[in-house]
Structure 1
Amino acid sequence: MDRTTATHSRSRIMMVEQHQAFSVTPTGGALGAVVTGVDLSASLEAELVARLREAWLAHQVLVFRGQSLTDGQLVALARAFGDPHAVEVCEYDRSGLLPEIDVISNIMVDGRALGALGSGEAAWHTDMSMFEYPAAATLLFGKEIPPAGGNTRFANLYAAYETLPEETKRRIEGRRSIHDIAYTAAGTVRAGFEAVEDKTQGPGAVHPVVRTHVETGRRALFLGRQSYGYIQGLPVEESDALLEELWTHMTKPEFVWEHAWQQGDLVMWDNRCLIHGRGSVSSGARRMLRRVTVRGEKPV
């Protein structure tokens, strides 16, 4: 039994023993687990939150099926794991929404978008990394799910870092990169920003290329959005080549697990040690999700 399998097995046994109605089943992929026996709309006891947090840290992604959550309940759930971000960068009408709720949707009404990201594919990225204090957790709730498309894929950046060639590890040790805020995960330029011509001057936070997870102590690669960014101190051409090498390695199939959404899914993931992306959705199929991100620590 390898270390990952052993960790998953111990986690599941411990959860069942300590809370009989609560089980954690690993996906069998590179990361992720499905949690059953928890109603997330209820007020969660401190012991249960601690156990869920333990499972989240062990598996990086937790999936809760068949949930029914109001926006207020989703925000309350996020608060059990930290301080939610208020939505600061937005290109759709937020009238009537709680400050912490971000809408991810392709639905249009009278020519207006009801949410972000539309129907196209979302490239690999890390949530909120363009800020000095990126997201630790993301909680994404599926209210309206199309019959096909829009799957979310995740890549394990612990494993990606640990399997890098030693020469590459030496090249990136101590390096920092710009997490560009000018572009969305859909590859479009954000409202109020311009396309970045000089990558060395790109707007956004600067973070270490390799970060140490404050809760697990493990090291992981940490990059913002695929195809964007700049590693400081390198010629732009060299930075581009190194970033391409890292992204190609990070997204190898052996590090990736894909979640196929069902209505009522609540998926919670740890942005400090993974990246995620999304497949496209037919423009005629309706997709509506609610998202809250929990503020993390400054990466080191």
Structure 2
Amino acid sequence: MTGNTGAEVIGIDLRQSISVQERTALNRAFVEHGVLVVRDQDLAPTQVLGAAELFGTVFHQHNTRFAIPECPEVHYISNQDRYPDGTRYIPGEGWHTDHSNDTRPPKATLLHAVTLPDVGGDTQYANMAAAYSALPAGMRERIAGLMAIHVYQSSHSDRQLMRLSEANRERVPNAVLHPIVRTHPENGRKSIYINPIRIEGIVGFDHREALPLLEELLHHATQEAFQYRHERRSGDLVIWDNRCLLHKANGDYDMGQARYLYRLMLQGDVPT
């Protein structure tokens, strides 16, 4: 879809049986391109689950509030939800990677578009491997070996997440450490691994030093040269690699129109 990110998959119906050869080809394309856009799907939640399992094992999301009752492994994303104070909740706003506050963050996220606004609501992706490769040598040396502190909700983030229930809080880690330079376990490429919504700080740095460094890395990594902007169509099933991408949803559409998608994540490895 761009020079460094994204591939379109056509001519496949994920409601049907998928051969071993097709599954292998899909997984190879996923690792190579970071984002796969599978067009023209019409999947019920259980079929979304089946499609996701072509790429791995389900990761159980930290906040079960949005689980679909008939298939709780699958959650929904909707622009019709609101915070307790009545403010509209727009899921996915701001650059981030999903659930990096887990000891084994999900390797992938999958969204299936069900209802979309007429215009807008695109998802943007930033290729953090391409961004790392383009860093000056001095910056690569500076961030080598640094560990970031990831929490459920960073006190430095402008975006507020939905609060966890008591039961969910009990199973979500208070804080985990992950390297700022991460090596992809399947292709060996190094990436910048940061998350403005989740990172509370950097080990050994005070905030006066850590926050400007993180901001500099984010500014570099989200340049247009490293981005793919997905203009979503009804029926799209999109899966992306959280190990080497940031993403964000855009709330630039008529909020009187519904935006509703199915969402599922896949288990990942301990970042190294």
The amino acid that maps onto 2:267 is: R
Aligned counterparts of 1:121 and 1:83: Cα–Cα separation in 2: 22
Give the aligned partner of residue 146 of structure 1: 117
CA RMSD of aligned residues (A): 2.4
Give the aligned partner of residue 58 of structure 1: 32
Instruction: Tell me the matched-pair count.
Output: 260
Residue by residue over 1:227-254, the C-alpha shift from the partner in whole angstroms, topping out at 9 and shown as x without a partner, is 8431111111100010011000010110
Residue by residue over 1:45-66, the C-alpha shift from the partner in whole angstroms, topping out at 9 and shown as x without a partner, is 1211110111111111010111
SS at match of 2:107: strand
Aligned counterparts of 2:17 and 2:149: Cα–Cα separation in 1: 39
The answer as to whether partners of 1:121 and 1:186 remain within 8 angstroms in 2 is no
The amino acid that maps onto 1:82 is: G
CA gap 1:120/1:99 in 2 versus in 1, 3 angstroms:
closer
Question: Which runs of structure 2 are paired with 1:247-286 in the superposition (5 Å)?
Answer: 247-280=218-251, 281-286=253-258
Aligned counterparts of 1:97 and 1:249: Cα–Cα separation in 2: 42
The structure that has the greater radius of gyration is: 1
Residue by residue over 1:176-209, the C-alpha shift from the partner in whole angstroms, topping out at 9 and shown as x without a partner, is 101221259981144149xxxxxxxx94321100
Give the aligned partner of residue 9 of structure 2: 35
Give the aligned partner of residue 101 of structure 1: 74
TM-score (norm 2): 0.88
Aligned counterparts of 1:238 and 1:112: Cα–Cα separation in 2: 33
Give the aligned partner of residue 199 of structure 1: none
CA gap 1:101/1:29 in 2 versus in 1, 3 angstroms:
same
The answer as to whether partners of 2:52 and 2:266 remain within 8 angstroms in 1 is yes
Give the aligned partner of residue 129 of structure 1: 100
Question: Which runs of structure 2 are paired with 1:236-251 in the superposition (5 Å)?
Answer: 236-251=207-222
1:80 and 2:51 are equivalent in the alignment: no
Deviation at 1:283, TM superposition (A): 1.9
Give the aligned partner of residue 170 of structure 2: none
The amino acid that maps onto 2:176 is: A
Aligned counterparts of 2:154 and 2:236: Cα–Cα separation in 1: 28
Aligned counterparts of 1:112 and 1:241: Cα–Cα separation in 2: 30
1:44 and 2:14 are equivalent in the alignment: no
Aligned counterparts of 1:121 and 1:36: Cα–Cα separation in 2: 26
Q: What's the % identity of the aligned pairs?
A: 35
Among 134, 137, 148, the residue aligned to 1:166: 137
Residue by residue over 1:77-136, the C-alpha shift from the partner in whole angstroms, topping out at 9 and shown as x without a partner, is 1112111012331445x462423112110125xx899xxx83477101111211011111
Which piece of structure 1 moves more, 70-79 or 183-192?
A: 183-192
Q: Could you list the runs of 5+ residues in structure 2 that have no partner in the other structure? A: 166-172
Aligned counterparts of 1:220 and 1:112: Cα–Cα separation in 2: 34
The answer as to whether partners of 1:86 and 1:99 remain within 8 angstroms in 2 is no
Aligned counterparts of 1:239 and 1:207: Cα–Cα separation in 2: 15
The answer as to whether partners of 1:179 and 1:204 remain within 8 angstroms in 2 is yes
Give the aligned partner of residue 69 of structure 1: 43
The answer as to whether partners of 1:86 and 1:101 remain within 8 angstroms in 2 is no
The answer as to whether partners of 1:226 and 1:247 remain within 8 angstroms in 2 is no
The answer as to whether partners of 1:180 and 1:224 remain within 8 angstroms in 2 is no
The answer as to whether partners of 1:231 and 1:239 remain within 8 angstroms in 2 is yes
Considering Cα pairs closer than 8 Å and 6+ residues apart, tell me whether 1 or 2 has the greater RCO: 2
CA gap 1:214/1:140 in 2 versus in 1, 3 angstroms:
same
CA gap 1:150/1:226 in 2 versus in 1, 3 angstroms:
same
TM-score (norm 1): 0.80
CA gap 1:80/1:210 in 2 versus in 1, 3 angstroms:
same
Aligned counterparts of 1:90 and 1:182: Cα–Cα separation in 2: 16
Aligned counterparts of 1:45 and 1:293: Cα–Cα separation in 2: 22
